[in-house]
Amino acid sequence: MAPPVVAVILAAGRGRRMGRDKAFLELGAETAVERLVRHCREAGCDAVRVVRQSGAEPLPVTLRDLQRVEVDSEEMIVSLRAGLAELLCDGLCGVLVAPIDYAMVSAKALGAVVQELRSAAAEPGTRVVLPLCRQRPGHPIGLTAGILDELQHAADLREIVRRDPGRNRAVAVDDGWVLRDLDTPEDLSAAQGALRCAGMTATELMARHRSRRSYLPLGVGDAQLRWLVDSARHASTSAFLQACAVVAVRDPERKAAAARLCADQRQIHEAPMFLAVCADLHKVAAACRAHGGALDPSHLELLVEATVDAALFGQNLALAAESEGLGICMIGAARNHPVELARLLDLPEHVYVVFGMTVGWPADDPLPRQRMPLAAVLHDERYHHEDTSAWLEAADGRMQDWARAMNERDAGSDAKPIDETRGWTDRMWWLCGRGQPPKGRAGLPDELRELGIYTPPPRPAEEGGR
Ligand SMILES: Cc1cc2nc3c(=O)[nH]c(=O)nc-3n(C[C@H](O)[C@H](O)[C@H](O)COP(=O)(O)O)c2cc1C
């Protein structure tokens, strides 16, 4: 029989920041401790121990046969030493150190650590096995048996990991939960949201999209924000310009000020977070300066590239958020007062907010808005414009159907009845066909010029006048 790997689940903390015992957090149909035990077993651990604070609530009945170790301290190293007691015997392969905070980590990722631990233990020397996601080390950590003695004298686990990087082994995993602990109620919301959407494919998520304009009074935590942005920033980017950035606004006062600049839309006030998605040529300009040159903002192409970069990044971000159960609404009104918004967010020169995005836990349930027929978008070999009138008719009908359904179900939208007679073509005429600048944004070229993102070259007549 192969030497055993034992999982030691550290669940002795009082969960102060979470406000409750983390072992009992609800993760889908099970508690955190049940989930972590199940995953450790599925990952190939031969035995599982759980360390608890003495006097803490008993484990769920499903885990009553599990070996439970009690401690009087909340220090992780004390828990770990207690969990290892009597394990320091010959024939042990190693230990998977699994803090309860990492109960979201998949059995697959845990299995990768356990497998690496087994192969590391077969070699001479002592080893630490770390799961590595996107080049960052996470948890749970594997320790080969030879290293366990060191724990008796170490101040904490970090000290062991840092002592001799040469003996550490990384195992690459795709599971971002190795980097995201369950520390705060926001982290728990994120975990629960992700579980609700688990198993949904990217195409399912796309087709389920609806803009959400009402939110629960629940925050979006730092770890989730970092993960979503870290995912979204892998979008394609013109010429590798990477001309995008996002400012996350969660401070209520600054968010209220941003809302005022964006037509005072209610969802910005209500959402816990407002993201300002920026086209960002600041970094490109700095690169040009570093090489003795200067960015010339008179090229429309640069404005288009940076704006496209921001849009691709923003849509990636929206989809990432929706994949964890969050709701979003993009906010084009961020271009109502671009200069003032740039000042509020301290944007450097050559940066503007292309659109905002409210993000939060949705409290509304709008009916999906049917898009115009696929044939209007997908053309075989050439653009089939001869069918235009049929698409417009369909688009009108779909918009009116949606208005009728919303009026019937919710007495309208945002407590206002929707005009069922107005179709899509009527709306497009209103927005774009009356000789007015769309949404009254006549000042946008001047404002973009002021922000240094686009300076239209002077027209010949203007040039002559100089
Ligand atoms: C760039 C952009 C800006 C938008 N700006 C706003 C906005 O300021 N306020 C708003 O309520 N919705 C805004 N929307 C959401 C659109 O109204 C919405 O996507 C569209 O009506 C289709 O509805 P759906 O997203 O629910 O499918 C914006 C969407 C995009 C892509």
Q: Where are the alpha helices (DSSP H) in 26-106?
A: 32-42, 76-84
Q: Tell me, in angstroms, the distance from the centre of ligand 1 to residue 259's CA.
A: 15
333 pocket-lining for ligand 1 (C-beta < 6 Å): yes
- Give the number of other CB atoms < 10 A from CB of residue 295: 19
pLDDT tens digit string along 134-152?
Answer: 999 999 999 999 888 888 8
Q: Where are the alpha helices (DSSP H) in 336-459?
A: 338-344, 388-410, 424-432, 444-450
| Res 89: pLDDT | 61
| Res 461: pLDDT | 65
Specify burial of residue 182 (Cβ count, 10 A radius: 0-12, 13-18, 19+). buried
Average pLDDT, integer, range 208-234: 97
- DSSP label at 413? B
pLDDT tens digit string along 2-36?
Answer: 789 999 999 999 999 999 999 999 999 999 999 99
Is residue 33 a contact partner of residue 50, using CB atoms and an 8 Å limit? yes
200 Cβ contact list (under 8 Å, min separation 6): 208, 323
Is residue 148 a contact partner of residue 87, using CB atoms and an 8 Å limit? yes
Q: In the chain, what are the domains?
A: 5-178 (3.90.550.10), 196-366 (3.40.109.10), 369-459 (no CATH)
Q: Tell me, in angstroms, the distance from the centre of ligand 1 to residue 128's CA.
A: 49
Confidence of residue 438 (pLDDT cuts 50, 70, 90): confident
211 pocket-lining for ligand 1 (C-beta < 6 Å): yes
- Give the number of other CB atoms < 10 A from CB of residue 421: 7
| Res 303: pLDDT | 98
Mean pLDDT of the chain, nearest integer? 94
Angstrom distance (rounded) from CA 245 to CA 249:
13
Q: Name the CA dihedral angle for 128, 130, 136, 140, rounded to a multiple of 10 degrees.
A: -130
Please identify, by atom number, the ligand 1 atom nearest to the C-alpha of residue 366.
26
Confidence of residue 465 (pLDDT cuts 50, 70, 90): very low
Helix, strand, coil tally for the chain in percent (to 5): 45, 15, 40
398 pocket-lining for ligand 1 (C-beta < 6 Å): no
Confidence of residue 65 (pLDDT cuts 50, 70, 90): confident
Q: Tell me, in angstroms, the distance from the centre of ligand 1 to residue 206's CA.
A: 15
- Give the number of other CB atoms < 10 A from CB of residue 418: 18
Question: For a substitution probing ligand 1, which of 313, 315, 330, 369 has the most ligand atoms within 8 Å of its CB?
Answer: 330
332 pocket-lining for ligand 1 (C-beta < 6 Å): yes
| Res 67: pLDDT | 86
Average pLDDT, integer, range 101-115: 98
**Residue having the nearest C-alpha atom to atom 7 of ligand 1:** 331
Average pLDDT, integer, range 328-340: 98
306 pocket-lining for ligand 1 (C-beta < 6 Å): no
pLDDT tens digit string along 154-200?
Answer: 888 999 999 999 999 999 999 999 999 999 999 999 999 999 999 99
Question: For a substitution probing ligand 1, which of 206, 211, 341 has the most ligand atoms within 8 Å of its CB?
Answer: 211
* One-character DSSP codes across 202-268: HHHHHHH------B-S----HHHHHHHHHHHTTS--GGG---EEEEEE--HHHHHHHHHHTTT-HHH
| Res 336: pLDDT | 96
Q: Quick check: 464 pLDDT over 50?
A: no
| Res 466: pLDDT | 41
